[in-house]
Amino acid sequence: MAPPRVNVTAKVKFNRSTRYKIELEDGASYGRCVKKWEEFEQLYDALEMRFGEELRDAAHFPRYATRKDNSKSEAVEQNRDGLERLLNKLVQVPKIGRDTDLVAFLQLTQEVGSAGEEEASAQPGLESRPGPTPLTVRPWE
């Protein structure tokens, strides 16, 4: 079975963090969830703790583009494109693509119902997941 295709779109709100809508298509099903940049960082940190060099060989975390570098729309598009490329690379690597943190991250928080309306269902973030994540392993304690 081929890994799903991941599409990321950005939703910018005035004076708020940009939210990234993640849509997954695997031919048989379709769904989407919404995440912030910080959640992508948490996911990458958790995967890096587990996979180390293997993860860095597969995909590097994109550099955050700011308005100092570009116009706001260009920065948002660069960030969106970087996150989309990252997720697509991660799901292509069999060992990483089946990792529980990545699967939980991509779990759908909004599903499109049969009538086309969105149904919301809360999913826990990485903070509440058991196991070694950057939020559960604190070397300074």
Quick: pLDDT tens for 26-64: 765 567 788 999 999 999 999 999 999 999 999 999 988
- Residue 114 is predicted with a pLDDT of 38
- Residue 110 is predicted with a pLDDT of 46
Tokens linked to 43: 């996911």
Q: How far is CA 33 from CA 30, 104, 112, in A?
A: 11, 11, 11
- Given a contact cutoff of 8 angstroms between Cβ atoms, the answer to whether 15 and 91 are in contact is no
Residue type, 87: L
The residue ranges of DSSP E strands in 69-134, in sequence order, are: 110-112, 118-120
For the chain, residues with pLDDT lower than 50 are 109-123, 130-141
